[in-house]
């Protein structure tokens, strides 16, 4: 496949990985996706791409395995999207996951340095780095203060990426992603929990949904836009770190109002607030300043918050329809 750029994506079966794979395919890439389970297992978010991408497995904590992977596929770009963004996990479970969010990043960067230091690398970082931030909105210059094990582990991944860029001269970027949603969002996240509940309530499959703090606010964007931003980072003339965000916050209550209203329902009739579902250590208001990405990469969000919410509800309604509900 001489002349065709090859991208290696860890976490290709996730929300961001599936969108990134689509973007790269549109731009003529060969895609190698790394998955945790067997290659033959079902991966719903990428089933429509199975005949266009290659899947493989690799222990991301094994230096030799990573070097063999790079030598076999000869990627020109590596996107590390492998993470489990669930801060509500028990601390015991986050110990092992923390290794993949931190040490695995070091292993990948070192394997790239050994095998081919010209490979371009993008680390998917997170707004959880800011945590108890002293200021808002947060930009690339804002001091980090993570408030949960996930954020702490991802902070290591962020700084080791910066370190390899500055000490080894490698093209290594961190994409500091604020909350981003889509119809492919996991059902454990509040946005998808709401959109799926709306569809099921409309279908008569359930009566209510239990949520935590309805006034919690987040900077919510569209996952496809954020995947495009990561690709743009590796096309830039020089490596750098970028915040990707909308610059606006919305509450869970707003999300509910739009989602239920989209199907002609009032959220107050179906939402049960349970304060015990709040995160044990919540962050201060996180809202991103993405002016650098907009200026340097010409990156822009393309979907409004209202349209994003409606798209998620429509997708879950369509899914229920395929399963037999006709409205």
The CATH number given to whatever domain includes residue 313 is: 3.90.25.10
One domain, residues 98 and 54: yes
One domain, residues 27 and 156: yes
First to last CA, the chain: 48
> Which pLDDT score, from 0 to 100, does residue 84 have?
65
One domain, residues 214 and 166: no
> Measured between alpha carbons, how far is 80 from 318 in angstroms, rounded to an integer?
31
Could you read off the pLDDT of 83-103 as tens digits, one per residue? Answer: 765 555 566 676 778 888 999
The domain in which residue 152 lies consists of 6-180+222-244
Catalytic residue among 6, 126, 161, 246: 126
One domain, residues 62 and 30: yes
The verdict on residue 154 lying in a domain is: yes
One domain, residues 202 and 282: yes
One domain, residues 84 and 108: yes
Strands 250-251 and 217-218: antiparallel
> Which pLDDT score, from 0 to 100, does residue 88 have?
58
The verdict on residue 191 lying in a domain is: yes
One domain, residues 63 and 79: yes
The verdict on residue 79 lying in a domain is: yes
- Which is nearest to 195 in space by CA: 248, 250, 255? 255
> Which pLDDT score, from 0 to 100, does residue 95 have?
77
> Measured between alpha carbons, how far is 284 from 6 in angstroms, rounded to an integer?
40
The verdict on residue 1 lying in a domain is: no
Structural contact between residues 136 and 289, judged by C-beta atoms closer than 8 angstroms: no
- Average the pLDDT over each of 34-43, 182-191, 236-245, 279-288 and give the range with the smallest value: 279-288
Catalytic residue among 43, 77, 79, 128: 128
> Which pLDDT score, from 0 to 100, does residue 96 have?
76
Percent of the chain with pLDDT over 90: 83
Query: How many structural domains comprise the chain?
Result: 2
The verdict on residue 135 lying in a domain is: yes
- Laid out side by side, the sheet with 120-126 consists of 54-56, 30-34, 6-10, 77-80, 120-126, 172-177, 242-244
> Measured between alpha carbons, how far is 275 from 48 in angstroms, rounded to an integer?
39
Could you tell me which residues come within 8 angstroms of residue 94 by beta carbon, excluding any fewer than 6 positions away? 149, 150, 153
Q: How many CB atoms lie within 10 A of CB 302?
A: 11
**Which tokens belong to 238?**
């020089």
Is 126 tagged catalytic?
yes
Could you tell me which residues come within 8 angstroms of residue 314 by beta carbon, excluding any fewer than 6 positions away? 183, 262
Catalytic residue among 79, 150, 226, 242: 150
Alpha helices in 27-90 (DSSP H): 63-73
Q: What is the distance, to the nearest Å, from the Cα of residue 168 to the centroid of all Cα atoms in its chain? A: 27
Strands 180-181 and 221-222: parallel
One domain, residues 132 and 233: yes
The verdict on residue 100 lying in a domain is: yes
One domain, residues 42 and 148: yes
The verdict on residue 327 lying in a domain is: no
- Average the pLDDT over each of 18-32, 135-149, 222-236, 239-253 and give the range with the smallest value: 135-149
One domain, residues 70 and 200: no
Is 222 tagged catalytic?
no
The verdict on residue 294 lying in a domain is: no
Report whether pLDDT(117) > 80: yes
One domain, residues 142 and 157: yes
Is 150 tagged catalytic?
yes
> Measured between alpha carbons, how far is 160 from 183 in angstroms, rounded to an integer?
32
The CATH number given to whatever domain includes residue 138 is: 3.40.50.720
One domain, residues 59 and 150: yes
Percent of the chain with pLDDT over 70: 93
């Amino acid at each position: 496949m001489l002349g065709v750029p090859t991208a290696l994506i860890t976490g290709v079966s996730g929300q961001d990985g599936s969108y990134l794979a689509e973007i790269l395919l549109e731009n003529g890439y060969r895609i190698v996706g790394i998955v945790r389970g067997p290659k033959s297992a079902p991966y719903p978010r990428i089933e429509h791409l199975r005949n266009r991408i290659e899947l493989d497995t690799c222990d991301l904590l094994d230096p030799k395995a990573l070097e063999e992977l790079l030598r076999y596929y000869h990627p020109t770009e590596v996107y590390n999207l492998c993470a489990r963004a669930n801060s509500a996990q028990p601390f015991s479970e986050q110990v092992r996951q923390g290794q993949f969010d931190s040490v695995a990043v070091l292993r990948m960067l070192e394997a790239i340095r050994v095998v081919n230091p010209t490979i371009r690398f993008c680390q998917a970082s997170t707004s959880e780095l800011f945590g108890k931030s002293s200021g808002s909105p947060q930009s690339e210059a804002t001091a980090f203060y993570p408030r949960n094990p996930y954020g702490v582990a991802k902070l290591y991944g962020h700084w080791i990426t910066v370190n390899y860029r500055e000490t080894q001269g490698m093209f290594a970027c961190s994409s500091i992603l604020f909350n981003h949603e889509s119809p492919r969002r996991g059902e454990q996240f509040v946005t998808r929990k709401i959109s799926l509940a709306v569809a099921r309530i409309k279908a008569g499959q359930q009566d209510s949904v239990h949520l935590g703090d309805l006034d919690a606010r987040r900077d919510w964007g569209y996952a496809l836009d954020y995947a495009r931003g990561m690709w743009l980072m590796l096309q830039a003339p020089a490596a750098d770190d970028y915040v990707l965000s909308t610059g606006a916050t919305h509450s869970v209550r707003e999300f509910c109002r739009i989602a239920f209203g989209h199907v002609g329902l009032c959220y107050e009739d179906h939402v049960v607030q349970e304060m015990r579902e709040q995160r044990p250590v919540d962050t201060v208001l996180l809202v991103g300043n993405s002016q650098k990405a907009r200026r340097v990469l010409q990156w822009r969000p393309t979907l409004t918050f209202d349209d994003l919410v409606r798209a998620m509800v429509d997708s879950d309604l369509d899914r229920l329809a395929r399963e037999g509900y006709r409205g």
